Amino acid sequence: MYKALFTLLLCLINLNAYAGVQGKEIIYQVGDTEFTGFLAFDDAVKGKRPGILVLHEWWGHNAYARKRAEMLAALGYTAFALDMYGTGKLAAHPEDAKAFMMAVTGDKVEMVKRFQAGLKILTDQANVDRNKIAAIGYCMGGGMALNMARSGIDLDVIVVFHGSLGTETPVTAGQVKAEIMVFTGAADPFVPTEQVQAFEQEMKSAGVVYTLKSYPGVKHSFTNPDADGFAARFKMPLAYNRAADEDSWQQMLQLFQKVFRSE
């Protein structure tokens, strides 16, 4: 009985946290391709607030990306989960995900156009403070967000969750404008120790303000509760880790508060 009451209480608290959150799909064009993004904000929050761009995993723009946007909206931010693949392109198998990802990452010019299109939708919102903008990304999206920072796009913060850190063109001093925060799993074969070390050397050499936290024993996709299902279905080295998920989220929020409050 007490367990049931406790569960009900948690549900009510959760509903209350999202009570004012509004979410809507936004269909937009980049060249000849149609994309579908998701905007989330709390209409009870008055005035302008920081905007957060959310970049999805290699599976595509799915419910998980939208969930993160809603979580940010419940905290008073306006969040836009952009679409890097195109309307309806959701992968049901790793081979499909890889093909979608390679099509985008193989064309750097097009990748930047898609990122900037999503960024413009976010900054054009009437309730967004254009001077307080961050981008966060998961897996593929984390690597993309990091590469946008490397390209010199003017953002305040970039946060990478279990994303690729490698690059063939390391940045030089003054190239990165954003403060960077990276969360990775020490047992993630997709982001090996050598890649992490090279990233840190790159950031230090270029004088970039960054934070990196590596979680011992934690695997790839540790923020996504669906990771265990993907791991079982496709024999992939993925695993959700609640402690790492919650810790990384809280550290990100602390960084947002520090950076946006100081501006």
| Residues 56, 142: Cα–Cα separation, whole Å | 8
Place of tokens 């309730």: 127
What pLDDT score was predicted for residue 198?
98
Name the residue type at position 229: G
Place of tokens 């959760």: 14
**pLDDT tens sequence across 6-54:** 444 444 444 445 568 999 999 999 999 999 999 999 999 999 999 999 9
The DSSP result for 58-96, as a single string, is: TT-S-HHHHHHHHHHHHTT-EEEE--SS-TT---SSHHH
Which residue, among 169, 170, 159, has the nearest Cα to 252 in the 3D structure? 159
**pLDDT tens sequence across 222-260:** 999 999 999 999 999 999 999 999 999 999 999 999 999
Which residue, among 112, 71, 104, has the nearest Cα to 86 in the 3D structure? 104
Query: What are the chain's domains?
Result: 24-262 (3.40.50.1820)
**pLDDT tens sequence across 74-83:** 999 999 999 9
Mean pLDDT of the chain: 93
What pLDDT score was predicted for residue 10?
46
What pLDDT score was predicted for residue 20?
84
What pLDDT score was predicted for residue 18?
59
